Amino acid sequence: MSLKIYWDRVTEKHSIKLMNYLNERISGLTETYDMVGDMKITNLSLGSKPPKFEIVQISDPDALILGSKSPNGIELRAKISYDGDAFIEIQAEFKVNLPTPNFISFPVNVKVSNPIFSGIATVIYDTDKVCFCFLPENGDSPDDFTPLKDVKFETQLGDSAQQVLVDLDKLQNFIVDLIKTYLKKYLVFPNKMTIPLNEFNN
């Protein structure tokens, strides 16, 4: 059974909330990459096209996913796919660490757009929270699975008033790895995103 999503009810306020949520969690992911300094998302849009959902199962919550048994919750599993015009814009610092650390730094602006992803997702509605995650498919381990299939890049390295280098493969590969790492760390089981229900009322 497919679900109809009223995507026009998603407003700029929701995009800003999501951007702030991601910025709170993205800083620690750059610590293992010595060529990248401070990073933040400066703009985010959830796009005009909704994702597609096809319900696979409705049941009591899976205690392994939720973390405990819940007599009052409900779990929905669905095939989810997206091929739309959502985007995020990222501002970061690209560092050259030779001959000394932080020898040279460049401002970097990256626009990541038109993502394509698919997978089995589960949403658990409990009494005081909502949990969401993707489930590895076809026997994949969490380390091998990613729902992200493709994405478009526009990359600018340097000051726009000076010389600019565009489409840097190394930087783009880093951004792809960063996104996949973020998805695995927060959105692929056994990890999950948990949102208190009072967040929806703010």
Q: Over the stretch 38-52, which tens digit does the pLDDT of each residue have?
A: 788 999 999 988 888
Q: Which residue is listed with tokens 């930087």?
A: 171
Q: What's the alpha-carbon Rg for the chain, to the nearest Å?
A: 19
Residue found under tokens 């620690």: 28
Once rounded to an integer, what is the mean pLDDT over residues 77-101?
Answer: 85
Residue 86 has pLDDT above 90, yes or no: yes
Rounded to whole angstroms, how far apart are CA atoms 91 and 199?
A: 27
Q: Side chain identity at 14, as an amino acid letter?
A: H
In the numeric block, the tokens 């293992």 are attached to 32
Q: How far apart are CA 72 and CA 126, in angstroms?
A: 7
Contact assessment for residue 78 and residue 31, using Cβ atoms and an 8 Å cutoff = no
Q: What is the pLDDT of residue 166?
A: 47
What pLDDT is recorded for position 199? 57
**pTM, to two decimals:** 0.71
Q: What is the average per-residue pLDDT within 153-176? A: 65
Average pLDDT over residues 28-45: 75
